[in-house]
Structure 1
Amino acid sequence: MSTVKDGAVTAPRLKTSAMIASFADPGQKTAPAPFGRALAALAETDPRIVGLSADLSKYTDMHVFAKAHPDRFFQVGMAEQLLFGAAAGMAETGLVPFASTYSVFAARRAYDFICLDIAEPNLNVNIVGGLPGLTTGYGPSHQATEDVAIFRGMPNLTIVDPCDSVDLEQAVPQLAAHAGPTYLRLLRGNVPTVLDEYDYTFELGRAKVVRPGNDVVFVSSGLMTMRALQAAEALAAHKVDVAVVHAPTLKPFDEATVLAELDTPRLAVTLENHTVVGGLFETVASALVRRGLTRRVVPIGLPDAFLDAGALPTLHDRYGLSKAAIVERVLEELR
């Protein structure tokens, strides 16, 4: 609510629950727990599907699956290494595990178990990481701002960074059908529904041009595709025509689609909910160099730093992930 101080009315304070905050805008169309619902629905037709969690089923939407299929859900407690070791054993017997925890615990705490128990034997284990990037107001202990950078170097691992509920609902069965291990940057709770308005379908390993444009091209992943589309609409009022390329699969990366869009005179910008070190920006940059394409790419992403705690709207403004910050940055580049 607005407050009055020394006779002046101040702007309302922005608040979000730090742990279960939603990045959805007020009044935006959302879907509740799309990952958990999609997994529970898939399990109705595929008896191999099992779910595991490390004491965080409520905060990774795995509780939806647990309620629907209690005999196929396994709670291992606060033991992330055990979580992925157990999932590997289940996969060895022919089951298809989805193992959920926070991204920070999967990437930082259990890396060796994932690498040697799951990735090296190329098992069908689906790692579900909650609170990726700046999707929580908690500080560095829970903000997985470097998870993609950590996991990109792991052989055999497919990495998916979904934009919205459409991506999540369509990705779950494709992840289950994929032969090797996957890492999903989970969006949980009330997740925005955005891509249904753009004749879009998720295809594992493929990037999609969801909006054409003549002046600027955005290459984005995760929730930043939502922000890219919002910024593109706002920039149209400035007579700036923006294309948006959504790249939900970060590894393997769809170089052909992305580079075809970047090999033009348009201003090129990457947008990611991740540090600019080791994520989408550097994936795009290395692809350009390998193909012998010389051009500048402007990175919009999180800094190479430990981030502050606070309300998500405030933090997104502070670190340049908000629609207003993106619009301002593009206009500066075009001046």
Structure 2
Amino acid sequence: MSAETKYGPSVTTNTVEFPYRRSLGPVVGGFVAALARGQITGVRSTGVRGGGRVLCPPLEYDPDTGAATDGELVDVGPEGTVRSWTWVAAPDARHPLDRPFAFALIQLDGADTAMVHAVDAGGEDALRAGLRVTARFRAQPKGRTDDLAYFVPEGTETTDPDVVDAAAAAAGAAAAGVSTEPVQTMEFWSSLTYKEAVSPATARYARSMLAGTLLGQKCPTCAKVFVPPRDFCSIDGIRLDEGHDLALPDRGVITNFTIVTPVPYPGQKETEPFVRVSVLLDDVEALMGLQPVVDIPNEEVRVGMRVEAVWLPESERNAEEFGNRGWGSTTGAISGWRATGEPDLPVERYIDRVF
């Protein structure tokens, strides 16, 4: 999550990303296996209305009739004709090329349907309906659909060292003994990026944290203190505003904790067990959950321990983690909570304070 301004975010950009594995089946799996050998394949439809048509990319069924295809893969291409296209002038990290290119509907020779794929044409002026193109394949195939890298206009000399033409891909696969068996599964990253307008309460919290002050909000009816401020009381169902904000102490007592043993996952940063604690702030009924600790061994964390916030130097603080969905996030302003060295408070007074 990232903030668009250092002095209190107005919009946060959030990315949810995770690896995904899907099974391919014999038809799509055979299509992917052929790509590693520099071949593009289609499948013949057997439906009454679509019977005899060659579909590429191949499917288990005819999308027009719903009838099952015969499952027999037939070679098409690697040349084809552009039927329509759209130009991508500013590619981002999710696009197949890092330079301007076109997405095009390409009808490969021998196919009756068109497939969507990238065309590296060198410039928008080179694109037109009817343009003849030819495929380029990954020089080092990985058994994925993107082993078919992109298309180029016929007669184009390719300077990209990572791709080869169909003949070179076939020769390389033969020399490497690439399997002809269908690919069973394919892994890829599923990624969703979205932007969210930051609420006024969250923006105030972020500005306060950057200035070195914890900010909460007190309901005038139930006296409950919320941190960070929410501009409403979830107990009484009433609106709150900036007039109900108050600065909070950055000292308190641990009321609950858990030791997390990391389970391996993609993108994991933690490798050793770590602690997250709930801290009840001094003098107010405000509880901050899921807080990290610093300079306290895991085995020494306990309910009743007195702790204080460790603020980052002002020049190092940032608002990137302050969003509407936070549970009192302090990341970017506070590195964690450390023991004050004061005597513990009675466990029985705090053991049930979790939320």
Higher normalized strand content (fraction of residues): 2
TM-score, normalising length: structure 1: 0.23
Higher normalized helix content (fraction of residues): 1
